[in-house]
């Protein structure tokens, strides 16, 4: 709701992600982390945290089973054409 001007183009993808979260009954954080964790060719993930509770939460999420294939396909379908200006934080200025 309060996107900075330079990220207004992210509104629709964020709405789609929120809907997918509801449809799958998974928090956005869980969907995102599990999707990235299981990308082919990925061997490590660096996830920041500010508190011990966040660290514990991240470690708990990383141990969850893989996403369902249908969820993975849906993510690829919904987000395959996201502009680089939304994906790359270096371009958010």
Q: What average pLDDT does range 71-81 have in this prediction?
A: 95
pLDDT of residue 79: 94
pLDDT of residue 59: 93
Q: What average pLDDT does range 18-28 have in this prediction?
A: 97
CB 24 within 8 A of CB 56: no
The interaxial angle of helices 28-37 and 11-24, nearest 10 deg, is 90
Q: What is the value of pTM for the model shown?
A: 0.84
Dist CA 91 CA 53 (whole Å): 31
| CB atoms near residue 65 (< 10 Å) | 7
Quote the tokens at residue 89.
């934080």
Q: What average pLDDT does range 3-25 have in this prediction?
A: 93
Q: Over pLDDT 90: what percentage of the chain? A: 72
- Give 48 or 17, the one with higher predicted confidence: 17
Residue for token pair 């330079």: 6
pLDDT of residue 1: 75
- Asked if residue 14 has pLDDT above 90, the reply is yes
In terms of C-beta density within 10 A (0-12 exposed, 13-18 middle, 19 or more buried), how is residue 79 classed? Answer: middle
Dist CA 13 CA 28 (whole Å): 12
């Amino acid at each position: 709701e309060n996107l900075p001007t330079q990220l207004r183009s992210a509104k629709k993808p964020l709405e789609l992600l929120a809907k997918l979260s509801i449809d799958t009954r998974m928090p956005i954080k869980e969907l995102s982390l599990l999707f990235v964790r299981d990308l082919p060719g990925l061997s490590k993930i660096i996830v920041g945290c500010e508190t011990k509770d966040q660290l514990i939460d991240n470690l708990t999420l990383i141990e969850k089973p893989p996403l369902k294939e249908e969820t993975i396909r849906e993510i690829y379908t919904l987000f395959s054409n996201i502009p680089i200006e939304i994906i790359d934080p270096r371009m958010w200025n």
